[in-house]
Structure 1
Amino acid sequence: MSRWKELPAELDPRVRQLVVRLRLLKDRGELSVRQLATKTGYSAKSWERYLGGRSLAPPDAVEAMARITGDDPTRLLALREVAAEAWLEGRASERAEVPDGGPGQEAAPPELEILLSGAEAPPLPGRALRIAVVAGSAALLLAVSSAVLVTLRLGGGDSPAAAPVVVPVTTAPTVSTPAYDCLARRSGGRWYAGNSRTMDATVAYGSAGPEVAEAQCLLRRAGISPGGIDGMFGPLTRGAVLDFQKRAGLVADGVVGPHTWKALRR
């Protein structure tokens, strides 16, 4: 078992959970960072950052870790998606801090990390390639707009009353989180909260949607708080599920499946 350094205290719990899971898989596979680099295509330095909580491991690296250690890639990628949301939230409030970078640089989204790492990175996955294309297009548009603005100002130099040219900026629409209500009603001997009538859907850490909101409402009805009713299966919801399963005499695995649905709807 490796003797790991303590993770940064300010690391978000959602990111911490992913890093701890990656560390456990590395130990279970008895892999060194050099072996990880050879088997995954990501450099040893990159893996040191990922396992130290200083950078967020890209999806391809997470999937490769699951593959070589025999873990379930679906669940590991779900953990990574939840961690990515937390990582982006943290970077939004700390734009000036870039892990392993110089002062004053703007933080880059984790998906762009492999683009910034040069020769260390494996071939770009589709998502990263799309980000690179969009970033390049935006830079080109900005350069063209600036050139047009300068040309128009110079062209109006003969007239002191020449009006300045304003280049409009179009912002992307804001994506809002769906709102869910808890309208608990009893029907056919079972409780329903108005978001889903499922009895067999499996929802776990990293899941999202109306089934998660339904489980959150039923947990709240049972007197256990899952946090907000937001349809996101995060740490608070998982903790609430574990508490409910223990109380109901079920296997406490933090996953809402047929047996847990049945108990929640009683």
Structure 2
Amino acid sequence: MSRWKALPESLDPQVRQLVVHLRRLKDHSGLNLKSLEAKTGYSRSSWERYLNGRNLPPSQAVEELARVCGTDPTRLLALHEVAAACWGQGGQAAEQEGQEGREGQERREGRELLLAPVPAHRLPKRLLLVAAGAAAGALVALLVTEPWHESVSLATAHAGAPASYTCHIHRKDGRWYAGQSTTRDDLVQFGDTGPAVAEVQCLLKRAGFSPGGIDGIFGELTERAVKREQTQAKLVVDGMVGPHTWAALRA
């Protein structure tokens, strides 16, 4: 895992949250800055500025990072929109996004990539399309006022998720399972929802690390419990459940 420089104290909390998520995604992918330059079309120096909080990355760079790391960009784009609104009251962010978005597009065209940059003014429409109907208004409001808090934003943004899961703890072939998912290598991290998250929560509870409720929502309490498990297992303490953490939970 990279040894990151401390982010500037003056950095807005919403921008800081975006940068932390980008750093985690980059670390888990195992890619270095040179690899990101080759795969995304944004220069190594640009990624260094983005990941150290000196410049706000354009939305297309965020989407490209999610693509090369094999993850859904929806949550990162939502975080980016909130961060952009806080960055220099939006004006500086929009100007920077336009300039660096053009730079990234030129690089991608040189590599014969067919992904076109998304103009900054279309981001709200993208977010509305993801949320669908009445849920979109609730999601945008929560992103502005209480972004990604476990008890409010995550629960409301994922209103369709089951309220609770039942753990069915059993042992098979020397490994523990909880009846929600049999995965041993899927990446599960903060903000995720569904059966794989419930499986993590059940196994954490079995191991004596309380994740709060077994609700299938990966929030702050679940992340804290994962870090305690990782500390005990002498793993990298990043709060994300990958192959090594799954192995420790199922052992």
Give the TM-score, by structure 1 length: 0.48
Greater helix share, structure number: 2
Give the TM-score of the pair, scaled to structure 2.
Answer: 0.50
